[in-house]
Amino acid sequence: MFVDQVDIQVVAGDGGGGCISFRREKFIPRGGPDGGDGGRGGSVHLTVSSHHNTLINYKYHTQFRAKRGKHGEGSSRSGRAGENLVLNVPIGTVVYEKTNGDFIKLADLTNIGQNLLVASGGRGGRGNERFASSTNRAPRRADSGMPGETRHLRLSLKLLADVGLVGLPNVGKSTLLARLSEARPKIADYPFTTLTPHLGVVQLDESRSFVLADVPGLIKGAHEGHGLGHQFLSHLERTKLLVHVIDVSSNSGRDPVKDFEVVCQELASYTENNIRTSENINNRLTNKLQVVAANKIDTLRDRNRLEILKQKFKSRSVEIYPISAVTGEGLGPLSEAMWKRLATRGIDALQEIKKQVSNE
């Protein structure tokens, strides 16, 4: 099951209490205080792991507590510190803290091995030997341990990809992903075959590759919850290029230009409702580089229709690439065009995620 957002509670361990003790040994009168300090409570950390690609582990178990510190003991023995709790999350996890009903962004975890301290353990209490002085040689005082931090967090997974495929259902996005990469998404001849996002690595040659993401199809009114809604569009926020896949086959009876406009409207609605103006402007889906992949040309009986489409999109300053995801026709020029636009925008070094996807 693909889970990309969860709310959890993390509780750090309390510190151990200090000890009140006095040295009692034969032939050693008035041995003095020897109560040790309590141990520090365990902290809670989030660590990015390459072995996880979903937040399913936190869907049904939502409270996580670190170990508390041990109490101090006599003979100046300090309590053992509580064991830290490490929670593994997939690369691309964004961490928010719930404060007064609002979610405040804490961190964006985009590197394998990146660590974030989300709840600090409580400090251990002082034992009575800490309070000994020249005027108080037998203190009967010790501190209790401090409580550990409690935080309510929201973990939101946004996949790391360079290029995102968008389009209406059943236009061939999954077939295109499978043709260009080693990814094997479910492919079938009915709407909403793709129910969760999929990643694949497109390898042009030994030195050129990029990550391609396919998200479930959009329909008109997705921003109102129709179809699968905008549930998975957050995974396109990190992309630098969007490829609109449209169906130009003769049998579909669809208007490719109208389909393109429907998707653009839904992207604009998502941006307006979900991306704050204070966030990175590159995250806005309407500001990303875009190209159009005119799919299913192998079933196009009248090629003049394709020329008319090219002129319509040229007037919109959008380049169109005729392809057939089934036969492979036109995929070479499309792949080169995607790489060229990524190079002009600047492609991130995502070697870990590419290796992860390649090994799956």
The CATH number of residue 249's host domain is 3.40.50.300
CATH of the domain at 43: 2.70.210.12
Domain co-membership, 27 together with 87: yes
pTM greater than 0.75 (yes/no)? no
Domain co-membership, 53 together with 117: yes
Confidence bin at 53 (pLDDT 50/70/90): confident
Domain co-membership, 247 together with 262: yes
Q: Is the pLDDT of residue 66 over 70?
A: yes
- Whose CA is closest to 200, among 181, 228, 185, 175? 181
**44 vs 257, residue with greater confidence:** 44
Helix ranges (H only) for the chain are 173-180, 256-274, 304-314, 331-345, 351-359
Domain co-membership, 173 together with 36: no
Domain co-membership, 153 together with 167: no
**86 vs 308, residue with greater confidence:** 86
Domain that holds residue 302: 163-359
Confidence bin at 226 (pLDDT 50/70/90): low
Domain co-membership, 118 together with 260: no
The number of distinct structural domains making up the chain is 2
- The predicted-structure confidence for 295-331, as pLDDT tens digits, reads as follows 998 888 777 878 888 888 887 788 899 999 999 999 9
Q: Which residues contact 126 (CB under 8 A, 6 or more apart)?
A: 18, 37, 38, 142, 143
**pLDDT for res 93:** 92
Q: Is the pLDDT of residue 1 over 60?
A: no
Confidence bin at 191 (pLDDT 50/70/90): low
Domain co-membership, 134 together with 179: no
Domain co-membership, 101 together with 218: no
Calculate the average pLDDT of the chain: 85
**Stretch 96-100: mean pLDDT, rounded?**
91
Confidence bin at 227 (pLDDT 50/70/90): low
Token readout for 272 is 């307006």
CA angle, residues 115, 121, 124, in degrees to nearest 5 = 145
The Cβ of residue 188 has, within 10 Å, a number of other Cβ atoms equal to: 10
Q: Are 235 and 164 in contact (CB under 8 A)?
A: yes
Domain co-membership, 60 together with 146: yes
**pLDDT for res 278:** 42
Q: Find which of 251-255, 270-274, 331-335 is predicted with most confidence, using mean pLDDT.
A: 331-335
Confidence bin at 86 (pLDDT 50/70/90): very high
Q: Find which of 68-72, 266-270, 297-301 is predicted with most confidence, using mean pLDDT.
A: 68-72
Domain co-membership, 81 together with 195: no
Domain co-membership, 63 together with 136: yes
**pLDDT for res 96:** 95
Confidence bin at 268 (pLDDT 50/70/90): confident
Mark which of 135, 157, 179 sits at the end of a domain: 157
Mark which of 131, 157, 183 sits at the end of a domain: 157
**pLDDT for res 282:** 55
The Cβ of residue 7 has, within 10 Å, a number of other Cβ atoms equal to: 15
Mark which of 94, 122, 157 sits at the end of a domain: 157
Q: How far apart are CA 353 and CA 205, in angstroms?
A: 18
Domain co-membership, 239 together with 266: yes
Burial of 83 (C-beta count, 10 Å sphere; 0-12/13-18/19+)? middle
**Stretch 70-78: mean pLDDT, rounded?**
95
**pLDDT for res 286:** 76
Confidence bin at 348 (pLDDT 50/70/90): very low
